[in-house]
Structure 1
Amino acid sequence: MSQYAHLSDPDPELLAAFNAWTASFTTIASAREKAKAFIGMIMDYHRPHLPPDEKYRMEDHKLSVFGGEITVRVLTPRNADNSHEQNSFPLLLWMHGGGWGVSNIDQDDFYLRRICVDLQICILNVDYRLAPEYPFPTGLDDCYSALKWVRLCTSLRTNAAANSSFFNVDLSRGFLVAGQSSGSNFAAAIAHRAVADPFFSDKPVTGHVLQLALVCHPDAYPPECRLEMISMEQNKDAPFLRKEHMLGAWHRYGGSPTDPDVSPLLYKHEGLSPMYAQVCGWDVLRDEGLLYEKLVREAGVHTKVDVYPGAFHGFSCAFSDVRLGVRFDREFREGIRWLLSLSKKDVQQNYGVTATVVDDLPG
């Protein structure tokens, strides 16, 4: 039995909120249809809290990628006088969730606008192509292309696109990759890819954020850890993301379970950028997220993880006002600030000391 089994006891406030709300996800077509309403609900929640237009700038760019084109939405803070010359900003590349096959950049758009202004950080929101029409590695490669594009454009300021306010960034202040659920799978794989890629040797990724960490196909769980990896079965009927949904998403996404780009937990983690993770206790993904943090930390990387007992997958999107939802938002912001503080200290070049914060776990 896993030492984390107790984290699946439902949070009473969250359970009451969920029981008053209904959702059904069966086929990929019905999931996409439901996602439209879900995204609308999320945007309606954040709309009254949006910062004034003069506080930020939004730009959509079309990016040519292998076999097609994607949209990247760029959010940039504005200075008090509406200029873009006084300050340069750190950057966060964001990848939405949705089981690799559902949703788009609108899902987190309004929330990211708030983060952009509140944290004074430039955000690149990637509208990657979806499975099953575009299976592995298409979505991952789309996001990695966006990362390389922003790195290139911040260097070549004579490029036409580089005249955008977006490129008033300083990657040495922070160059983060982040995502939720399937987006966190991309973020973990990209953080590992970038370590070995000479393209980023002079401006390395300085941190990565995994919300609802999805980092290992069940068929690739390390044999020595399988007895501890019980959340997929224990939480198989949890709200929002049941075991059958997760297995269906893996099937649509494709790729070999043992490919580290599919299951980033299987990578060697030495030299990885610092990591912040948020893990839900009542989630099929709980144990792989906690194991990933443990392995990364044991590889000498700075890590910080916050755990939400009794919270189900994706709860913070639908129920932002409940106690755990408020905490989830606060700690997400604190996690980004923590990674940016490490970037400023340039500790990404020295991972000899770890900084781990794990709430609500034994010991």
Structure 2
Amino acid sequence: MSQYSHLSTPDPEFLEVASKLPPPATAGPLDVASQRHLMTTMVVPRILQTFRPLLPAESSYRIRNLDIPVDDGTIAIRCVQPIARDDEDSFPLLVWFHGGGWVSGDLDIDDFHLRIISVELRISIVNVDYRLAPEHPFPTGLNDCYAALKWTAANAAELSGAPAKGFLIGGASAGAHYAAILGHRARDDLFFTSTPLTGQILQIPAVIHIAAYPERFKADLLSMEQNKDAPILNKADGEFFWNCLQAAPSDPEASPLILLHEGISPAYIQVAGLDPLRDEGLLYERLLRESGVKTKLDVYPGVPHGFHGLPLAASKKWEADFRAGLGWLLSDRSAD
């Protein structure tokens, strides 16, 4: 039994809220079309409804929608930057990758939240609409995100960005998977010598291919089985999403947990206790820490993957912790 099995005991408030939710717009086994329909008709509207009342005044920030070049085409990005105050001339930078199991999601899912964070925490943000699987199998979406990261570094001044004040990457779920990989790529790429990443935000991350658990870590990776029937994301869902991504289990870049971690940027990680991905997130944080990487970890017992879109006390804590984690990454990080 996992040493973290107690984290799977359901939060009573979650059970109460979940019992009152309307049934999904689609039912039955997952397929790409139904997943995208669910995302656009239920998930994104609920998230936007949650954050709409908290939006800052439109006069306090600037939005630009751009198309940037990537391999074999272009992708959309949405840039959000605060309007400078009298004592400001530039801002830290954050490049953000959305969740959605690699097969769904777009710029809208985190749009309102990123606008709020940009103004409140005085940070310039690039929101990336990478191409989706299965039409664009691994590593297409990953490479799109990397192109957007390089574009941001090369165009920092255009974004009123100052990488020396902070140059962060981040994402949730599938987006966190891409961010974790890019943290390693950027460490090894001479392109980033003058603009190194200074931090990464990994929310409920996938960091090891579901079919590639290393023997040496199997005793640490029990939540996929323990939480195989969890709400919102279960084991069968995870298998479906990985199959859509079409990353080979033997490809080490698909599994950042098994890469060498020395020298990557500090990481802030958020993990849900009732999530099949729980143990890989916890193990990843431990391996980073043991490799000399500064880390900050927050865990939310008894709630599933993606719980933070629901009206829960744990969701409020998640949001407050996110702000604190982002602030920690932007600080001198001289102490945890």
Q: TM-score, normalised by structure 2?
A: 0.96
TM superposition shift of 1:99 = 0.5
Distance in 2 separating the partners of 1:255 and 1:299: 26
Question: Which residue is 2:80 aligned to?
Answer: 75
Is 1:49 the counterpart of 2:54? The answer is yes
Q: Give TM-score scaled by structure 1 length.
A: 0.89
SS of the residue 1:276 aligns to: strand
**Displacement of 1:219 after TM fit?**
2.1
Give secondary structure in 2 for the equivalent of 1:220: coil
1:103-252 superposed matches below 5 A: 103-154=105-156, 162=158, 167-252=159-244
Separation in 1 of the partners of 2:110 and 2:139?
A: 23
Aligned to 1:350: none
Structure 2 counterpart of 1:88, which letter?
S
2:274 to 271, 276, 282: 282
Report percent identity of matched pairs.
47
Matched AA of 2:330: L
Give the conservation status (yes or no) of the 8 Å contact 1:258–1:266.
no
| Counterparts of 2:88 and 2:31, CA distance in 1 | 50
Quick check: 1:61 aligned with 2:66?
A: yes
Mapped to 1, the partners of 2:82 and 2:91 lie a distance apart of 8
Q: Is the 1:184–1:214 contact (alpha carbons within 8 Å) kept by the matching residues of 2?
A: yes
> What's the CA shift for 1:79?
2.5
In the TM superposition, residue 259 of structure 1 has moved relative to its aligned partner by 2.0
Which segment is superposed worse, 326-335 or 250-259?
Answer: 250-259
Does structure 2 retain, via aligned residues, the 8 Å contact 1:175–1:206? yes
Counterpart of 2:18? 18
- State the distance in 1 between where 2:134 and 2:228 align: 23
| Equivalent residues of 1:55, 1:80 under 8 A apart | no
Number of the residue aligned with 1:326: 316
How far the C-alpha of 1:80 sits from its partner, in A, is 4.1
Distance in 2 between residues matched to 1:201 and 1:260, nearest whole Å: 24
The gaps in structure 1 that reach 5 residues or longer are 348-353, 356-363
Task: Determine whether 1:268 maps to 2:268.
Answer: no
1:228 Cα deviation (Å)?
2.5
Q: Distance in 1 between matches of 2:270 and 2:152?
A: 26
Provide the rounded CA distance (Å) in 2 between the counterparts of 1:265 and 1:280. Answer: 18
Aligned residues: CA RMSD: 1.4
Matched-pair contact (CA < 8 Å) for 2:30–2:240: no
Q: Distance in 2 between matches of 1:257 and 1:171?
A: 35
| 1:351 paired residue number | none
Is contact 2:99-2:175 (8 Å) kept?
yes
What does residue 315 of structure 1 align with?
307
Aligned residues: 331
